[in-house]
Each structure stands twice: as structure tokens, then as C-alpha cells.
């Protein structure tokens, strides 16, 4: 890997063509408005560079502990801990909406490698990825209710779509955290590893990075775009993108390779 830069969100590309995005905002990786802004900028850059696969990770003990709560209160005055006015809260919420929306909309596969705590906005950040790989040390949860507020970065929406409304309500309404094994059992996490989640995520990302970039982007659009459509409309979307896939360079390479050399040996580099 190349040496990372020194921003709050670091990005480096491995020799296998996987882009590793690392949160680097102190020990707890609080998702401040500046962190979210930098994250969005990094993702936009990776989209422009036609990234093949992205692994998102944080620290060894804390993936991301959530929003920077200090941004939600007034500073100074007679009540220094008074809740910030709605316009400031809305601005912070927009930061989550746009950064996590950019992550969810990336045309390449995205994998969250979670080695530690992923609570609140940290859990929501992982939810915006296509896959979540967790170490046995990780914990997940949406504790916003314990502050008298609700999740604002997808915790009531992406979580419910991923694990079902009843289980999502349990986590959101109680604010409780779940360990890695429970997260896997309810479908919040795709895989739990004993060692470093980053190593496992890089292995999986390497498989996607070697695949047909254009076809993978179309397949991802088909799955994500069809989730909230009636089945007939989803099938129509699939057919449209199926036809589109034959017009890509990936199809030319893959079909030619299949006819000439057999299946599974095409080089999409």
C-alpha cells in the first residue's frame, strides 16, 4: 500500500486495486461535519476515478462512535449544554444524508471492515456499505434514543430494510448494543472473523476488483433500484440493465473469452 495522507479521512489504493478509506478522527472517530464532508469528497473522487472496490474502516477499537455530540449543543452563554437550534441540527443531518448517500450510491462494491465499536452514526455508516465484515470484538447499535432523539443517518431506514422492521425497532427503541455474533445472527453483519476484519475485507474486495467493473455496477443498480419496486417493475428494470450490459466492453471481453477459452478465465483488467 502507499503511505496514507494526514487528513481526517485517509485513502490509499492497494496493489490489487482496492481503495481503502480509513476514518482517522482521534480515538473515537466521531463523525463530525468536517469528517463527513471529507468522506463525501473522497468518495466523489473515487467515483470519478472509476474505483473497482472500496473497503471502509476505522480504528482497531472504535470503527466510529457516532456523531460529534458537541456539535448538537450551544456553545457559551447561560446554558452551554442547551440543544442547538433546528437549523444547525438540520445542517448536521444533511452532512450524514449526503455523505452516506454517496457511499450507498457508489457503483462499485463497498465493504465495511469493523474491528471495534460501531454505534449510532458509526453503525449507520456501516449500513450504507454493501457488505459488513466484523471482528469478534465489534459491537453495533443505535443508542440515540438514550439521548432522547432518534437516528438521523439511516438507522430507521437502512437498518429496517436489512434486518426487518421488528428487529430494527428493538435496536432503535431500546438503544441496546449487540455483539458481533448477534449482529451476524440477525443479518446486520455478513461475516465475523477472529482476526483483523480489514484483512478479510481486503480479500473479498480483491475478488470484486478483478471482476467486470461495468457489469458489476449495472448488477448493483438492478438490486438496489429494484428493492422498493413491485416485482414486475423490478423485473423490467433488470431486463433494461441486462440489455445495457451487452453494450459494455466487459461483455465483449467476457463472451469472447468464454467462447475461446471456456468459463471463468476472462481478464477484465
CA dist., res. 232 & res. 208, Å (int): 29
Note if 182 is an active site residue: no
Instruction: Give the angle 136-138-140 at the CA atoms, nearest 5°.
Output: 135
Catalytic residue among 59, 121, 154, 254: 121
67 catalytically annotated: yes
Cell of 246: 451487452
| Cα–Cα distance for residue pair 207/202, rounded to 1 Å | 9
Q: How far is CA 44 from the centre of its chain?
A: 14
- Closest by alpha carbon to 44, among 5, 109, 99? 99
Q: How many CA atoms lie within 13 A of 118 on its CB side?
A: 34
Among 58, 124, 168, 183, the active-site one is 124
- Residue in 30, 65, 67, 217 annotated catalytic: 67
Residues 62 and 51: their CA atoms lie apart, in Å, by 26
- 121 is annotated as an active-site residue: yes
124 catalytic? Reply is yes
Which residue of the set 53, 59, 144, 183 is catalytic?
A: 144
Residues with catalytic function: 67, 121, 124, 144
Amino acid at each position: 500500500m502507499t503511505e496514507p495522507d494526514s487528513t481526517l479521512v485517509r485513502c490509499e489504493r492497494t496493489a490489487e486495486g482496492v481503495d481503502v478509506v480509513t476514518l482517522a478522527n482521534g480515538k473515537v472517530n466521531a463523525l463530525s461535519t468536517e469528517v463527513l464532508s471529507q468522506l463525501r469528497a473522497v468518495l466523489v473522487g473515487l467515483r470519478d476515478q472509476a474505483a473497482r472496490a472500496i473497503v471502509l474502516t476505522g480504528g482497531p477499537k472504535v470503527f466510529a462512535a457516532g456523531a460529534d455530540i458537541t456539535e448538537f449543543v450551544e456553545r457559551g452563554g447561560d446554558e452551554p449544554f442547551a440543544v442547538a437550534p433546528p437549523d444547525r441540527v438540520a445542517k448536521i443531518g444533511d452532512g450524514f444524508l449526503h455523505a452516506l448517500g454517496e457511499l450507498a450510491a457508489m457503483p462499485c462494491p463497498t465493504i465495511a471492515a469493523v474491528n471495534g465499536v460501531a454505534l449510532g452514526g458509526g453503525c449507520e455508516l456501516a449500513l450504507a456499505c454493501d457488505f459488513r465484515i466484523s471482528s469478534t470484538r465489534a459491537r453495533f447499535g443505535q443508542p440515540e434514543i438514550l439521548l432522547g432523539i432518534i437516528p438521523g443517518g439511516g438507522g430507521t431506514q437502512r437498518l429496517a430494510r436489512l434486518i426487518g422492521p421488528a428487529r430494527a425497532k428493538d435496536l432503535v427503541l431500546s438503544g441496546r448494543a449487540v455483539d458481533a455474533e448477534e449482529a451476524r445472527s440477525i443479518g446486520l453483519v455478513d461475516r465475523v472473523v477472529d482476526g483483523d476484519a480489514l484483512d478479510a475485507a481486503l480479500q473479498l474486495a480483491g475478488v470484486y476488483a478483478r471482476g467486470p467493473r461495468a457489469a458489476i455496477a449495472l448488477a448493483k443498480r438492478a438490486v438496489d433500484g429494484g428493492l422498493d419496486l413491485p416485482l414486475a417493475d423490478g423485473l423490467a428494470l433488470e431486463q433494461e440493465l441486462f440489455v445495457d450490459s451487452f453494450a459494455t466492453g466487459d461483455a465483449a471481453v467476457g463472451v469472447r473469452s468464454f467462447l475461446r477459452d471456456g468459463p471463468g478465465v476472462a481478464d477484465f483488467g
